Chain A
Amino acid sequence: MVDLSTSWLGLSLVSPLIVGASPLSKDTDAVAAAVEAGAGAVIMYSLFEEQLAAEQMAAHRFLDIRTDSDAEARTFMPDLDVFSLDAEPYVRQLERLRKRVTIPVIASLNGTTAGGWTRYAKTLESAGASALELNLYEIATSAEEEGAEVEQRQLDLVETIARAVAIPVTVKLSPFYSALPAFVRRLAGVGARGVAVFNRFYQPDVDLDTLGVDRHLVLSTSSELPLRLHALAILGARSKLDLACTGGVHTGRDAAKAILCGAHVVQLASALLQHGPAHVAVVRAELEAWLGEKGYRTSTEARGVLNLDGAPDPEAWERLNYTQILAGWRSSGGVP
């Protein structure tokens, strides 16, 4: 029997397979089913400050604007005290999940203003979140601001939040950093306890019929895993932070690869949305079988053995993949 228990962000988990941020966590029953199936922790869907602010302003614009504007109607909707457009619904769900499951519940936060990030971080901490996952999400559209400035701003933010709360903070990163290890090192310096690679985003597409831009969120597939494995292998060797793999893990063998590259935990989201929360058990069984087959007694034992330092051929992580493949093709094809 392989021992899957692990430690991540100082939390003791029964399994490195955790429920990643997705709409699944809006459904308390589904989360309970994932726990039943062996999930080690759950990261809730993201709290988007931008969305909360936009929704509050939309309500203000379309509801309050009608208040006291007509002789016959003081308002046009029921008294609006009845609902909050701030973090309350999120907090309520967090509390429901904590009540329902015994595994750590991690809140995911996506802020836009410095004040908003810390305010919500504190709110989520006091609501009982075991840890915070911060989504650093920045699409550079300015031609003026340098990458270093962007990174500094993000570091300042993480530092502020890490100081503001006592619970561990992990940072979910996009793949778009020119010097990921250095940035992660600096994240550790400002108080982050872990990083998750990589965030997935809405993919804008072009609508040829309407001459418009369309946005879709497509579920991940295992083909997205290698990008993560690469980053994990490098960070696993270069960083002391706890690593999470997010995006592209659909099977136990996918999970095994991520662990071998250095992941402390492996987040499942698309796979669960596709196959249901009980799918955790399938992944878990496959992972256990593979680890057992290879003689690993614990999953921790397997962690990072194929990272940049540990891999039998470290250059494979460093050299451009294109060259490798080209070379392989040449050698097998025998063309001079």
Chain B
Amino acid sequence: MSAVVTSPAPRTMDANEAVADVAYRASEVIAIYPITPSSIMGEHADAWAAEARPNLWGAVPDVVEMQSEGGAAGAVHGALQGGALTTTFTASQGLLLMLPDLFKVAGELTAFCMHVAARTVATHALSIFGDHSDVMAARTTGVALLASGSAQEAQDLAAIGHATTLLARVPILHFFDGFRTSHEITRVVPLADETLRQLLDPAAIAAHRARALDPDAPVIRGTAQNPDTYFQAREAAEPFYTRFPDLLAATMDRFEALTGRRYRPFDYEGDPKAERVIVLMGSGAECAHETVEYLRGKGERVGVLKVRLFRPFSLAHLLSALPRSVQALTVLDRTKEAGAAGEPLLQELTTALVEAVAAGSLPMLPRLAGGRYGLASKEFTPAMVKAVFDDMRAPSPRRRFTVGIRDDVSGSSLPWDEALDIEPDDVSRALFFGLGADGTVSANKATIKIIGERTPLFAQGHFEYDSRKAGSTTVSHLRFGPRPIRSTYGIRRAQLVAVHDPELLERRDVLGAAMPGATVLLNTAVSPERVWETLTRETQDSLVRHRCRLFVIDGYGVAERAGLGGRINTVMQVCFFALSRVLPMDEAMGHVRRSIEETWGRRGPEVVRRNVVALDAALDALHEVEIPLAATAARHRAPVVPEDAPDFVQRVTRLLLEGRGNDLPVSAFPPDGTWPTGTSKFEKRAIARDIPIWQPDLCVQCNFCSMICPHAAIQTKVFAPSQLAGAPDGFRSVPETFEPALAGMQYAVQVAPEDCTGCGLCIEVCPAKDRLAPKRKALVSSPLAEHGDQERASFAFFENLQSAPIAALPIDKRTAALRLPLFEFSGACAGCGETPYLRLLTQLFGDHLLIANATGCSSIYGGNLPTTPYTKNAAGQGPAWVNSLFEDNAEVGLGLRLAVDMEARRARQLLAQVAPRLPAALVDALAQAHGDEAFYAARREQVRELVTLLGADASPEAAALREASRALVPRSVWIVGGDGWAYDIGYGGLDHVLASHRKVNVLVLDTEVYSNTGGQQSKATPLGASAKFATAGKATRKKDLGLMAMSYGHVYVAEVAMQSRSAQTVQAFLEAEAHPGPSLIVAHSPCIAHGYDLVASATQQKRAVDCGMWPLYRFDPRRVDRGEAPLVLDSKAPKLDVATYMQSEARFRMVELRDPARYAMLLEAARDGVRQRHALYEQLSRIHVPAETNHG
């Protein structure tokens, strides 16, 4: 008999942590692969294992990171076959990669519970956000599907899932909504070890272990069966599915006995005599529950049926939960199955109810309808729930609909009342608009922890991040109230709006959600007396209209004086407590102080000391500003995109930038996901406080600055002096003096002031110093506020300057930097080490470039809305870019090449057919293969001439050739991705593509970790580095991808490091493109995940090269034909101790600090590795390989 176990005190956490906490303790083997938004579950498990936290049985689970989710599923399957209690965490494409193994695990009736932070599956676009398209794709595998709607439920159902699967032998996929639930922080009553132990049946565990493959009692599994057997054997499993719902319900009963929290396979909330009922699962059910309570208060007979168990679908449990009074039943699905008779939950419900009526267990079939909502975390609000209920009693209700969008194409959408707000006044609601780097979200998490764990109030925090990695903005939604909070949607009316950077007021209507009488907190360096006059007309109007109280603080000043730089988290947290009055101020200050000690005291007292200084100074710096009776400003908020921007940018991009993308109707969007390039130039973010200002008197015209800039925000150009007429005042240029062939031309270095991120790399690498004042370089860091106007005008002029003809000049590191970048102003991190390679790629081949881009950082800064960086030249040519998936990128690139080659062959065949009717010289010219740099311009001219001539030819083949003629301009196909793709998940495909002998180029942007998902180790992680899943320091060597590719003999391979050796990089890119077969360039890419100030990345990269950790080389198979060794070493023998390199990056240093003995061992191993690798390469660079015999 189970006994009620005392519940631990409530804690605040998100579902990822709550679920991982259960799954970890209930498992022995955890095999994972990082994918948003589930990565954090794996990271928690990894961190706990690293600190030797035991599971329920006293063992530390083995947490292993695999090369893909497919790999993780395989490892899971194997571990289960070996009898281990096993789990995994995943989402979206990851789940799709697991499907084959899930069929196996289910088919073998294996006790297994996995957890999915449900996320949109990539279709016309990738989305990291939440819906059920991934889990619905798993519904044919035979796993049970269990849904949770909140962190508390997710934790509890995780426990129930682990317990039930052991009894039922049907594997369970437990899911909860990505971000909305996985990342939303709320109060959760944790589960004690003892509770879990009582829940997990020891006999069932023993039975699971007894089913392990065992040579002492050998059996075989995974036979191949014939038509005589398979069907019957498959049906033999049916009883396990039949009894599953009852076993689940029984476990839920036991759980209730242990904890007092009750769950059923279907939970009904609402009027016991409800006439209208909504059925749904996940977090949307919480919002529906809240709305049902509101509507019942208004006398409506409504209810909501929360589906916990979707599969195996239990009609009996459905009928026991559903009021017989129901007349209309609407099923809401958070997924779209294009072309289906109905979405999955609707179909299941329909089948079940029809069957129930047929069987006589239900007197009549309620009026059934189905709607889609909430795709990719689209807001789902009480107003939308009410719209659904309202439609159910409309004279002619819709049978199928969407809710939450305006569908002006198919007319599917229900209208809803934007103004409806059902949140009671005793719930405190605060909205915070912050910058990613200012600590706003961390501070709000700390606030939630304080209120949720140290007061009786319930707390909820939900956080929005934009997709920018530099200068990103965040919006935090915080609620505190006396009752559990079910509001699973953004705050629409806030009593407090905190604006942590005044620039945010210039970009969007952040006060739109301010309630009448709301308190507005603004962080600004402007004095309280002057603040009012600096606000725009729109902001002033909002403040007056909403009768707001305005408080200001110079948070940056307080933080700066406390030695905290731009970290205003503590300062703003104190202001929140002062203004919200959620807690008495003295008590709040005490809590904040304790929270500072707990959060920042881990690494030593200095951060705590400085934060306490800031804490003590914050209140004195907070001032109220009196708001006049009416707005006084003449200045209006500037349009977010220029008025002369293209139509699409005006219609669509502008709204996205204003934070109004939800207002766009369906018709605004291309139906296939195609999007224009070159939109980043319209998003002027102005995120740098200081920008580089060119000092022409010192400049040596080396172009180092434009070559290293990660954002193409500093550019260099040579142009004819005649164009200077019309230059704005203050535009600077000097005679070009570097290149004799360009004598007589002008040279300019120009910053794009509103696109610069202020990373400082250009200044760092600038070699020109003032001999009289060596502090002054040819680039001087200066405040944007002072120089913005001048540089804006100068950049606008600079952009339109026509470059001097440089095509005839040999391409080297200097002339490459003078070419037009067709990758500009991306949202990558300040100081990003990847983007300079992409910019160079577009400078060299941009006008005829096709890119297949693996998912990862480079696909996010390369293709994440609202604006994207790949752009076009004046002729409208530029890179065409596609992101398919993470795992398939090499293959996609190969496919592009196959198609391009096929199209070119078709064009040449057609050309041969019409050739007799064309000028012979033109036909000859078009027949020539690639030539020098001037080739492409000439070829485009020839194609233009061809098309003109074909215009006069009425033959079908001429018409066909006109259409196919573009293929006569050769395409450069580049396959781009990070090390997670190339070394791990995509390695099989990459290997195959390299082996193919097709003309594709591969650029691996090697940051040596999974950067985009937060620094998990890959096989590119160097020996000795700490990374997630290798916290103690990676003990094995980095995979030598280049060497593996060299082994084929026909692949061009180079390892490059552009920040320190751009000449070699340029040479490698050109040689790779010229090589007739496949090429592979592995590019050293400094990354924030290395843990140092990226302004030092050029120095640090040089150390990597000089110590031998990153040797530079080019392996060119064509050299063999010339009787030379194919490998050329471009870096000298290691001359620097590896330790000098390693001690400058936190990823190595943290290993030393944590365990000096291990560090010493790893350092020695790293030294050995460097010595051995150099010795091998050195020998390879001297070998003689006989040239291939032509077998003709």
Contact = CB atoms under 8 A, between A and B. Distances in A.
Interface of A: 26, 52-53, 56-87, 89, 92-93, 119, 210-212
B47 A80 contact: no
B604 A85 contact: yes
B534 to A, nearest CB: 27
B1028 interface: yes
A61 to B, nearest CB: 6
A66 B1153 CA distance: 21
B50 A84 contact: no
A320 B445 CA distance: 69
10 tightest A-B contacts by CB?
A: A73-B1014, A86-B604, A69-B436, A68-B441, A71-B465, A83-B1153, A56-B606, A211-B774, A78-B1031, A53-B606
Contacts of A60: 567, 600, 603, 607
Nearest to B16: A74
Given A77-B1089, A211-B774, A57 B606 contact: yes
B155 interface: no
Contacts of B439: 64-65, 68
A61 B610 CA distance: 13
B803 interface: no
A61 B563 CA distance: 11
A62 B179 CA distance: 25
B606 A82 contact: no
B128 A72 contact: yes
Contacts of B50: 78-79, 82
B1153 A84 contact: yes
B512 interface: no
Contacts of B1026: 77-78
Given A56-B606, A65-B437, A77-B1089, A70 B1015 contact: no
B1150 A77 contact: yes
Contacts of A71: 36-37, 128, 179, 464-465, 467
A74 B36 contact: no
B contact residues, range: 35 or more
A153 to B, nearest CB: 20
A89 B1156 CA distance: 8
Contact of B563 (A57, A73, A119): A57
Contacts of B162: none
Contacts of A58: 1093
6 contacts: A65-B439, A71-B465, A74-B40, A77-B1150, A210-B769, A211-B769
Contacts of B1140: none
Contacts of A72: 36-37, 39, 128, 860, 1012-1014
A64 B1146 CA distance: 12
A27 to B, nearest CB: 9
Nearest to B1030: A78
A67 B437 CA distance: 8
Interface string B236-280: 000000000000000000000000000000000000000000000
Nearest to B1027: A78
B602 A84 contact: yes
B1154 interface: yes
A67 B474 CA distance: 12
A82 B179 CA distance: 27
Chain B interface mostly helix, strand, loop or mixed? Answer: mixed
Nearest to B1153: A83
Contact of B771 (A77, A84, A211): A211
Contacts of A52: 604, 606
A84 B567 contact: no
Nearest to B1092: A62
A63 B1013 contact: no
Interface string B588-621: 0000000000001011111100100000000000
Interface in B825-874: 860
A78 B44 CA distance: 10
Contact of B1014 (A26, A57, A59, A76): A76
Nearest to B856: A72
A278 B273 CA distance: 92
Nearest to A61: B565
B463 interface: yes
B1088 interface: yes
Contacts of B706: none
**Which of B51, B474, B606 is most buried by chain A, counting CB atoms within 10 A of its CB?**
B606
A244 to B, nearest CB: 28
B603 A85 contact: yes
A99 B730 CA distance: 70
A119 B39 CA distance: 40
B832 to A, nearest CB: 13
Contacts of B347: none
A56 B600 CA distance: 10
Given A74-B1014, A76-B1011, A77-B1091, A69 B465 contact: yes
A300 B1012 CA distance: 67
Nearest to B50: A82
A69 B604 contact: no
A85 B1150 CA distance: 9
A79 B1031 contact: yes
A26 B1156 CA distance: 10
B1146 A74 contact: no
A211 B768 CA distance: 10
Given A52-B606, A211-B769, A67 B442 contact: yes
Contacts of B769: 210-211
B1147 interface: yes
Contacts of B37: 71-72
Contacts of A84: 602-604, 1153
A73 B35 CA distance: 10
B604 A63 contact: no
B306 interface: no
B1181 interface: no
A281 B1147 CA distance: 40
B419 to A, nearest CB: 29
Contact of B604 (A56, A65, A70, A76): A56
Given A63-B1146, A68-B441, A83 B603 contact: yes
Interface string B460-479: 00011101010010100000
A37 B644 CA distance: 82
Nearest to B436: A69
Interface in B1085-1123: 1088-1089, 1091-1093
Given A62-B1146, A76-B1011, A56 B607 contact: yes
Nearest to B1026: A78
Contacts of A64: 439, 442, 567, 600, 607
Contact of A70 (B436, B445, B607): B436
A112 B860 CA distance: 45
Nearest to A57: B606
B562 to A, nearest CB: 11
Nearest to A89: B1153
B290 interface: no
Nearest to A67: B442
